[in-house]
Structure 1
Amino acid sequence: MQHSAISELSILLVLAFAIFVSPYLAKFTRIPIAPIEIIFGIILGYFGFIGQSATFKLVAEVGFFYLMFLAGTEIDIRALIKTDKQVLRLALLYISILYIVAGVAGVWSNALFLTFVVVPVMSVGVLSTLFKEYGKNEPWLNTAMIAGGIGEVISIALLTLMSAYIEFGSSAELFSSIYYLILFIVLCVFGFKGLEVLFWWYPNIKILLMPHDDKAEKDIRLSMALFFSTVAVMIYLNLEIVLGAFIAGSFIATFFNHKKDLPHKLGSFGFGFLVPIFFVYIGTTVDLGYLFMPGVLDNAIKLMIFMVIIRVVASLIFIKRFGLYDSILFGLSLSMPLTLLVAVATVAYNAGNIPKELYFAFIIASIFEVIISMVLIKFTNYLKFRLK
């Protein structure tokens, strides 16, 4: 058997072990599974149990796009539009504060564009796991999902622009990418309106496409068809694939919400297979030997502290509506942008826009943020009920 084939087999075996063991370690350590999988990847990669493989990298990329698709399934656009206007205004004000602070910090640090993208970045991937522990009746958590959904769309759009700028600079290709991005968003808006009218006049079409009694798994097939079709369109337009994957997921959540079990079915496949491969792969890109080099651990800690503090301070605009403790919980719940922070770091590093030390700092900061925020959420929630 060729050496490359043996290497691929060894990666499969090690991945099988990591994917199987991670939930048990997460339960034992009370740390979310995603950071555990990244740490697994760091350790396994450092000791040579997982080598470089083009196939491994490709499957990991598909896992990341699918993760963004799953994040989109958490966002029902029609429900978002019907959100209480005061809550929506406060959520937009909260996001605006983050971007204003990021802009000031960017000017001060002479890294405006990168800071503007990184510091306010949001992702609902880890946030959605809080519903399992705290339920769906917590106002601070429901509002955090609304703000996180809006923030994630903005973050993905900025990531798309950053990717185009890094690749093309200030050339005509950049403006072409911006044109295609605007065109894609406009088409999505028209598509949303068109489907809304179509399903209003002919509601049975939804049942035909995704029947309640579905032995052929038509709901999964349609979801996958939409996912891969959107990915293909984004590749053709040379746009960031994560944006298309996220919007595809939100269309599923918006128009096929009669299939209550669909997000669970899609998530079971993703979080049980593709997504863990992505997180383990990200871990393998981090070299433990760089961890204690100047500019890695210290920058990771500084970035983590700064991102958590500005989110908690900005969340105090909700204090009249939620009270002090729930406002802090709101800010902490949005302090875990693991997936998109990793995405921004990966795009910038692969393009040679940031050094390896800063890339590792971003990855480590993303892990620290999840762990610290989860601990602080538990502690703040304990204080809220203890001091009532």
Structure 2
Amino acid sequence: MNENVILVVTISLIIIFSPFFAKLLKLPTTPIEIIFGAVFAYAGFLHEEHLFKIVAELGFLYLMFIAGTEINLKNTLKTPKQLINKIILYLVILYAFSIALSLYLNLGKIFMVLMPLISVGLIATLSKEYGKTPWLSLSMTAGAIGEIVSIGFLTLTSAALQSGLGMGLVKTIFALVLFLLFMFLLFRAMELLFWWFPEVSTSLMPHDDNKEQDIRLSMGIFFLLVGAMLYLHLELAFGAFLAGIFIPTFFEHKHELPEKLASFGFGFLVPIFFIHIGSSFNLEMLFVDGLIQKALFITLAMTLMRVVASLVFIKELKLIDSLLMGLSHSMPLTLLIAMATLAYNANSIDELHYYALILASLFQAISIMIIIKLINNYKIKKIGIKNEIH
């Protein structure tokens, strides 16, 4: 049978059966897709193919787009100043820990950016399981700001790795500042337009939509901003993320749209990205001396940093919910994989550290989900005992 036919069939089967295995093992679907990708690649059913790589890259960009749709910029800007200050303090503690640890253990400059990464991707899956609890609401707000900072660093790091620290980086920073200024003015102009003429947003995305205008416009915004990033030689993920923010910010009347877009992404493009990541992981590397220890150290360090930093919210959330919030940020799966891939392709980290980071992202996704479940069950049990006493 043709190699490409085997590749397509294998990808299809992984996409179909991953949710069943995830349900059986009570784990998120993402780690299962990565594991299957690695196992089937090792068995020879998956191989590096140009089209496979392109679709996987599109899957990553679409994932960043979906992450953006979790953020309503108007609501985020309405966050009380006192809480914003605490979120900034939380992020400062994370970066301080990261810089101190990277310098003390001589891990390299790239780890200063890698370790404090925050992504709201898996926090969204927690919302589906635990509902809109206070710790998850704060986790989403802090995560949204943290992800914007993380993607900013991803953009700058990408530029520094590609063009060095000379004039190339200065040009990139200048282009980024100009682009952000343009986006700010565009956001303000759209805000004023939709405030004066609210019928514009409903005509662009009608309530009764039999021509799928909402999907078409969303895809148009997505590709326009990715195209702008391509033209400016900036990180494409940043454009995709900003495109996602447009949707809930300016089309609030389409409440179901982010879920609609996520359903398409998680059902098709995003799994291909994770399968591709798994297929690039050489299982024989698991037997390389020190790999598992490095991965476990990265997992533990990234988790403890966030748990300690989250104690700044102890007044708002109390101890257990603060710990849950810190743990929910300890799974920056997509951004960690993206940054590790970027650094490895630019020869900024060696093969051992690349595989350690991929493995750490899996350890985080699996172990943190289990720990959150155990702590949440303990909390419910504790509340139940208190109610019985009263």
TM-score range, shorter chain: over 0.9
| 1:295 Cα deviation after fit | 3.5
Which residue of structure 2 lines up, in the alignment, with residue 275 of structure 1? Answer: 270
**Which digits, 9 at most, give the CA deviation of each residue in 1:237-275, with x for residues without a partner?**
000000010011001110011101101110111000000
- Is the Cα–Cα contact under 8 Å of residues 110 and 348 in structure 2 kept in the other structure? no
Matched with 1:11 is 7
The one-letter code sitting in structure 1 at the alignment partner of 2:334 is T
- The answer (yes or no) to whether the contact 1:295–1:358 under 8 Å persists in 2 is no
Q: Note the C-alpha offset of 1:39.
A: 0.5
CA distance in 2: counterparts of 1:191 and 1:113, whole angstroms: 35
For 1:348-367, list aligned pairs within 5 A: 348-367=343-362
* Residue 117 of structure 1, aligned match among 88, 113, 125: 113
Pairwise CA RMSD: 1.1
Task: Please point out which of 36, 55, 58 is paired with 2:51.
Answer: 55
Alpha-carbon offset, residue 112 of structure 1: 5.0
Q: Deviations over 1:194-230 (max 9, x none)?
A: 1101111111000010000000000000000000111
Provide the rounded CA distance (Å) in 1 between the counterparts of 2:108 and 2:43: 37
- The answer to whether the aligner puts 1:88 opposite 2:97 as a matched pair is no
Deviation of 1:387 (Å) = 2.2
Asked if structure 2 preserves the Cα contact closer than 8 Å seen for 1:103 and 1:112, the reply is no
Cross-structure match for 2:388: none
CA contact (8 A) 2:311 2:319 kept: yes
Counterpart position of 2:61: 65
Secondary structure of the residue that 2:290 maps to in structure 1? Answer: coil
SS of 1:179's partner is helix
Amino acid in the other structure paired with 1:341:
L
Instruction: Provide the residue aligned with 1:156 in structure 2.
Output: 151
2:16 corresponds to which residue? 20
**Is the CA contact (8 Å cut-off) linking 2:56 and 2:272 kept in structure 1?**
yes
User: How far, CA to CA, are the matches of 2:195 and 2:364 in structure 1?
Assistant: 43
Q: What is the distance in 1 between the residues matched to 2:353 and 2:301?
A: 16
Distance in 1, matches of 2:161 and 2:105, equals 19
Give me the whole-angstrom Cα distance separating, in 2, the residues matched to 1:204 and 1:171: 48
Instruction: Could you tell me which runs of 5 or more consecutive residues in structure 1 were left unpaired when the two chains were aligned.
Output: none
Secondary structure of 1:110's match?
Answer: coil
* 1:254 is the counterpart of 2:249: yes
Does the aligned pair in 1 maintain the 2:70–2:245 contact within 8 Å? yes
Does 1:191 find its partner at 2:186?
Answer: yes
Give CA-to-partner distance per residue, 1:340-376, whole Å, 9 cap, x none.
0000001011112211111111101001001111111
Q: Does residue 315 of structure 1 match 2:306?
A: no
Verify the 8 A CA contact 1:105 1:112 in the aligned structure 2: no
Alignment correspondent of 2:387: none
Q: What are the ranges of 5 or more consecutive residues in structure 2 without an aligned counterpart?
A: 384-390
Displacement of 1:111: 4.1
Q: Given residue 78 of structure 1, which amino acid in structure 2 is its aligned partner?
A: K
CA contact (8 A) 1:41 1:284 kept: yes
Q: Is the 8 A contact 1:234 1:244 kept in 2?
A: yes
Measure, in 2, the Cα distance between the counterparts of 1:83 and 1:211.
Answer: 29
Which residue of 2 is the match for residue 243 of structure 1? 238
Q: Partner of 2:110: helix, strand, or coil?
A: helix
Counterpart-to-counterpart distance in 1, 2:248 and 2:107: 37
Determine the structure 2 residue equivalent to 1:180.
175
Partners of 1:107 and 1:67 in 2: CA distance = 32
Q: Distance in 2 between matches of 1:102 and 1:112?
A: 11
2-side partners of 1:81 and 1:91: how far apart? 13
- Give the structure 1 partner of residue 289 of structure 2: 294
Aligned residue among 29, 33, 46 for 2:42: 46
Is 1:33 equivalent to 2:37 in the alignment? Answer: no
Partners of 1:374 and 1:93 in 2: CA distance: 25
Name the counterpart of 2:228: 233
Counterpart CA distance in 1 for 2:351 and 2:372 is 32
**Farther-moved stretch of structure 1 (210-219 vs 347-356):** 347-356
- CA distance in 1 between counterparts of 2:108 and 2:47 reads 36
Cα separation, partners in 2 of 1:313 and 1:278, compared to 1, 3 Å: same
Query: In the superposition, relative to structure 1, how do residues 103 and 44 fare at CA in structure 2: closer, same or farther (>3 Å)?
Result: same
CA distance in 1: counterparts of 2:4 and 2:346, whole angstroms: 27
SS in 2 for 1:335: coil
The residue type equivalent to 1:39 in the other structure is I
For 1:175 and 1:344, locate their aligned partners in 2 and report how far apart those are by CA, in whole Å: 21
Q: Which stretch shifts more, 170-179 or 48-57?
A: 170-179
- The offset of 1:106, in angstroms, is 2.1
Deviations 1:163-200 (A, max 9, x none): 11111112211111111111111111111111101111
Range with bigger deviation, 106-115 or 53-62:
106-115
Output the amino acid matched with 2:226.
V
Deviations 1:297-349 (A, max 9, x none): 11100000000011111111111221111011101111110000000001011
Query: Where does 1:113-152 land on structure 2 (aligned, <5 Å)?
Result: 113-136=109-132, 138-152=133-147
CA contact (8 A) 2:66 2:244 kept: yes
**Equivalent residue, structure 1, for 2:164:** 169
Whole-Å Cα distance in 2 between the matches of residues 367 and 147 of structure 1? 23
Q: What CA distance in whole angstroms lies between the structure 2 residues aligned with 1:92 and 1:112?
A: 25
Distance in 2 between residues matched to 1:54 and 1:99, nearest whole Å: 37
Q: Counterpart amino acid of 2:13?
A: F
**2: CA distance, partners of 1:125 / 1:290:** 27
